[in-house]
Amino acid sequence: MIGCDWIGRWAFYAPDKMALKEYESGRTLTYRKLNALANHAAHFLKKDYGITRGDRLAVLAENCLEYFILFSAAQKAGFILVPLNYRLAPAELDFMLQDAMPLLTISEKKFTEKVSRSVQTILLLEELQEMLWSKAEIKAEPFPQAPIKADDPLFILYTSGTTGTPKGALYTHKMLFWNAVNTEMRLDITSADRSVSCTPLFHTGGWNVIPTPFLHRGAYFCLMKTFEPAVVNQLLQEEKATMFMGVPTMLRLMADAENFERTDFSSLRFFVIGGEPMPLPLIDRWHNKGVPVRQGYGLTECGPSITSLHQDDAIRKRGSIGTLNFYIEKRIIDEAGNDVPPGNVGELLLKGPVITPGYWQNPEATKKAFTNGWFHTGDLVKQDAEGYLYIVDRKKNMYISGGENVYPAEVEKVLYQHPAVSEAAIIGVPDKKWGEVGMAFVVLKEKANVTDQELIAFCQERLARFKIPKYFKFIKEIPKSDTGKIDRKALKRLTQFKEDYP
C-alpha cells in the first residue's frame, strides 16, 4: 500500500514542526524526532523480539508519547497494535490476550500484575522509554517499508459483545486513511490546527477522531494521560486549541470546573461530541461561552467518523447525529431487509472503505455482521426530510456510562457465576454524573442470601469499575416475553426512576 508512512512524509515536508506534546512530562516530539524514534522502535522490535508484519504487539498503558511512536513504527513495519484497556479486570484481559496471542506485550510497571499470568514476554514501558530516549539524538537508519496491503490490520480494537464475549474488531490501514480523509473534509482540518487529546487510546475514538487525522494532516495536539476537567480547560486556552473531542459527560464536568468562567476558549472553532446525545442545556452553556458543538456518530467497526452535525445546526437539529460523511454509503432497512422511507425507523447499514473487514479469528461474528457487503450497526435510526439522521434506539441493550459502552449480557454473565444468584438482568438507568449507570435485578437461589455490597465486591474482582451496577434490586422473578427473552421494558417499569434524572 503506497503512502503508509505518514510520519516519514511529514518528517521530510516539515521536520521541525511540532507534532505532539505530553502534558504531564512536558516531553515534545517534532515530526523529525517522532520519525527517528519510530525507526529506532521498528528496528529494535524486529532485532530483539522478531516482530514483523502481521505480528501482534499488545500495549497496556495510559496515554503516552510511546503509543504514537509505536503507531508510526507499525505503519512502517506492518505489525498490529492491540491497545488494552487498563481499567479492565485481569480475567477480562486474559481473554483478549489469549485471543490476540501477541508476540510481545508492553506494559506500564503498575499494570503488569494484571497480565503477568497471561503472557510470558513483557517489556516494561519504562524500559522502552529509556531505550528510545537515550538514543533520541542519534540519527536513526530508516526502516525499510514493509509490503503492507490496504486490508492489513493496523489495530485490533476489542469491543464488548452482546453475548458477553469481547470481539477484536480489525482496523486496517485502508480504514485509517479513509477515516482521516473523511474527518479532515468534514472538520476542515489543516496543518495549522491544534488540539488537546485525553480520550483513552484503548478506544477507537482516542486514536481516530482527532490524533490520527491530525497526524495525517501534519497538525499538532497535546496529549494527556487522563481526563482532568479543570486541566483540560486550562490547556485548551494555553495551547490555543482550535478543536477538541469529548463525550457529554466530559463537557459537563469541564463546565462545572471552578475555572470554567474565567477560561478563554476563543481559539476554539468547535467541540466534536460523540458517544451519546448531548443535552440541549449543556449545548447552550457552551454556546454561551462562544464554543459551538458538533455532534457525530461512529462505532469501533466503522470509521469511527461516520456522521457529523455541523455546529450551525446544533440547535435547529437538536438530537440529530447529522449527515453521512463523504466516502460512506448507508441504508436504513426494516426487519424484512427493505429500505424504509424518510421518517420511518429502521436499522442503519453502512458500506465504504472505512468499514472493518471483520473480527479477529471470529468468522461467525464477521458473517453475522454483514449482508451483501453492508455492515449491520444494530442501531435503529430515522432520517428526516432534509437527510439528517436520528438515533431512535441503542445497539441491542447497551447503555453508555460516562462515555463507556456497557453491555448487560457481559455483566449478567459475571453475576451468574455467584453461587447465590439464580437469575440476573441489567438495564441502564439515569445518573446525574455518568449519564447512565447499571441497575441489576437479581433472583436468588432458594435459601440463598447475599447483599448488594457482596455482589459489588464479587464484580470488582471480575469487571472494570464502570461496568459494575450502581443499584441492585432483589426480586422473585425476572419478567420475560412470550418467547422467553428478558422483558427489559418491564424491568424499567420496576425502577423508581422517572424519565429524567432521579
User: What pLDDT shows up at residue 423?
Assistant: 87
Residues 407, 269: one domain? no
- Give 150: exposed, middle or buried? Use CB within 10 Å, 0-12, 13-18, 19+: middle
Q: What is the rounded CA–CA span in Å between residue 59 and residue 100?
A: 12
How far apart CA 459 and CA 466 sit, in angstroms, is 11
pLDDT beneath 70, residues of the chain: 1-3, 135-139, 161-164, 393-395, 481-485, 496-502
Same domain, 172 and 299: yes
Rounded-to-integer distance, Cα 295 and Cα 272, Å: 6
pLDDT of residue 342: 94
| Overall domain count for the chain | 2
Q: Which of 368, 395, 408 is nearest to 300 (CA)?
A: 395
Pairing assessment for the beta strands 435-444 and 471-474 based on DSSP bridges: parallel
Please give the grid coordinates belonging to residue 46.
524486529
Residue where a domain stops, chosen among 328, 352, 378: 328
Residue that is last in its domain, among 328, 354, 378: 328
In a domain? residue 455: yes
Same domain, 426 and 315: no
Decide if 18 contacts 10 (C-beta within 8 A).
no
Examine the domain organization and report whether 217 and 316 are in the same domain.
Answer: yes
End-to-end CA distance of the chain: 53
SS3 assignment for 406-452 = ECHHHHHHHHCCCCCEEEEEEEEEEECCCEEEEEEEEEECCCCCCCH
| Rounded Cα distance, 79 and 65, in Å | 18
Q: State the maximum Cα–Cα separation within the chain, in Å, rounded to a whole number.
A: 73
Same domain, 222 and 315: yes
- How open is the CA angle 401-168-171, to the nearest 5 degrees? 100
| Same-domain pairing of 170 and 288 | yes
Distance from C-alpha of 33 to C-alpha of 139, rounded to nearest angstrom:
9
Q: Do β-strands 194-197 and 220-223 pair in parallel, antiparallel, or remain unpaired?
A: parallel
Q: Per the omega criterion (within 30 degrees of 0), is the bond before 248 cis? A: no
In the chain, the amino acid numbered 204 is T
Q: In what order do the strands lie in the sheet with 302-308?
A: 28-30, 18-22, 220-223, 194-197, 243-246, 270-273, 293-299, 302-308, 323-324
Beta bridge partners of 330: 350
The alpha carbon torsion through 437, 388, 372, 406 (nearest 10 deg) reads -10
Per the CB < 8 A criterion, the answer to whether 401 and 433 are in contact is: no
Phi/psi-derived region of residue 206, left when phi > 0, alpha when psi is between -120 and 50, beta in every other case? alpha
**The predicted structure's pLDDT at residue 482:** 47
383: in domain: no
If asked whether residues 60 and 179 sit together in one domain, one would say yes
**Phi and psi torsions of 197, nearest 5°:** -120, 120
Shared-domain flag, residues 18 and 167? yes
The amino acid sitting at 455 is L
| Residue 430, preceding peptide bond in cis (omega within 30° of 0) | no
Domain stop point among 287, 313, 328: 328
Contact of 478 with 441, CB cutoff 8 Å: yes
Angle 65-77/31-49 helices, nearest 10 degrees? 70
User: 44 and 179 in one domain?
Assistant: yes
Which residues are CB-contacts of 214 (< 8 A; sequence separation ≥ 6)? 189, 193, 195, 220, 221
CA-based angle 90:408:427, to the nearest 5?
135
Question: Is residue 172 located within the same domain as residue 311?
Answer: yes
Domain-located, residue 183:
yes
Q: Are residues 272 and 155 in the same domain?
A: yes
3-class SS at 109?
helix
CA distance 438 to 405: 11
List pLDDT tens digits, range 397-449.
Answer: 778 899 887 878 788 889 988 999 988 999 999 998 999 999 999 999 888 99
Which of 474, 430, 433 is CA-nearest to residue 452? 474
CATH code of the domain covering residue 420? 3.30.300.30
Q: What is the pLDDT of residue 502?
A: 38
Asked if residue 164 lies in contact with residue 355, where contact means CB atoms within 8 angstroms, the answer is: no
Taking the C-alpha atoms of residue 105 and residue 84, their distance in angstroms, rounded to an integer, is 10
Point out which residues pair with 414 in neighbouring strands.
none
Residue 502 falls inside a structural domain: no
CATH number, domain of 234, equals: 3.40.50.12780
Residues 161 and 282 in one domain: yes
Handedness of CA 349, 353, 354, 357 (dihedral sign): positive
CB neighbours of residue 374 within 10 Å = 18
DSSP H helical ranges for 305-397: 363-369
Q: How far apart are CA 366 and CA 340, in angstroms?
A: 25
Whole-angstrom distance, CA of residue 241 vs CA of residue 236: 5
Look up the domain containing 315 and give its range: 6-136+146-328
219, burial (CB in 10 Å: exposed 0-12, middle 13-18, buried 19+) = buried
Q: What is the DSSP secondary structure assignment for residue 141, as one 8-state letter?
A: P
Secondary structure class of 122 (helix, strand, coil): strand
